[in-house]
Amino acid sequence: MQKIIITGGAGFIGSHVVRRFVRNYPQYSIINLDKLTYAGNLANLKDIEHEPNYRFVKGDIVDAPFIDQLFATEKPDAVIHLAAESHVDRSITDPIEFVSTNVVGTATLLNAARNYWKGNYDKTRFYHVSTDEVYGSLGETGLFTESTAYDPHSPYSASKASSDHFVRAYHDTYGLDTVISNCSNNYGSFHFPEKLIPLAINNIKQNKPVPVYGKGENIRDWLWVEDHARAIDLIFHQAKAGTTYNIGGHNEWKNIDLIRLLCQILDQKLGRTEGESAKLITFVTDRAGHDLRYAIDATKLKNELGWIPSITFEQGLDKTVDWYLDNQQWLNDVTSGNYQQYYQQQYAKR
* 12 touching ligand NAD, by CB under 6 A: yes
Cα angle, residue 310 at apex, residues 307 and 311 outer, rounded to 5°: 145
Measured CA to CA, the distance from residue 290 to residue 153 in angstroms comes to: 8
Strands 185-187 and 54-58 come out as: unpaired
Q: Per rule CB under 6 A, is residue 189 in the interface with ligand NAD? A: no
Beta carbons of 281 and 253 less than 8 angstroms apart: no
- The residue number with the shortest CB distance to ligand NAD is 11
82 binds ligand NAD, rule: CB under 6 A: yes
Backbone φ, ψ for residue 185 (5° rounding) = -60, 130
Q: Catalytic residue at 60?
A: no
Q: In terms of DSSP H, where are the helices of the chain? A: 12-24, 64-74, 88-93, 95-98, 105-116, 155-174, 196-205, 225-238, 255-269, 299-305, 313-326, 328-336, 342-347
* Distance, C-alpha 134 to centroid of its chain: 14
Helix/strand/coil for 12: helix
105-116 vs 155-174: helix crossing angle, rounded to 10: 20
CB nearer ligand TDX, residue 70 or residue 183: 183
**Identified catalytic residue from 34, 60, 85, 132:** 132
Binding pattern for the stretch 137-176 against ligand TDX, x by CB under 6 A and - elsewhere: ----------------------------------------
Q: Does 34 bind ligand NAD (CB under 6 A)?
A: yes
255 forms part of the interface with ligand TDX (CB under 6 A) = yes
Residue nearest to ligand TDX (CB): 131
Catalytic residue among 34, 60, 85, 133: 133
* Min CB(255)–ligand TDX separation in Å: 5
64 and 125 Cβ atoms separated by less than 8 Å: no
Q: In whole angstroms, how close is the CB of 233 to ligand NAD at the nearest point?
A: 15
Shorter beta-carbon distance to ligand NAD: residue 11 or 249: 11
Range in contact with ligand TDX (rule: CB under 6 A) among 40-48, 69-77, 211-219, 269-277? 211-219
Q: How many CB atoms lie within 10 A of CB 233?
A: 17
Q: Based on the shown chain and the rule CB under 6 A, indicate whether residue 134 belongs to the binding site for ligand NAD.
A: no
Q: Is 162 in the site for ligand NAD (CB under 6 A)?
A: no
Neighbours of 240 (CB within 10 A): 8
Rg, the chain, Cα only: 20
Q: Which does 13 bind (CB under 5 to 8 A by kind): ligand NAD, ligand TDX, none?
A: ligand NAD
Site for ligand NAD, rule CB under 6 A: 7-8, 10-14, 34-37, 39-40, 60-62, 82-86, 101, 105, 129, 131, 160, 183, 185-186, 192
Residues annotated as catalytic are 132-133, 156
Contact positions vs ligand TDX (CB under 6 A): 86-88, 131, 133, 185, 195-196, 199, 211-213, 218, 220, 255, 287
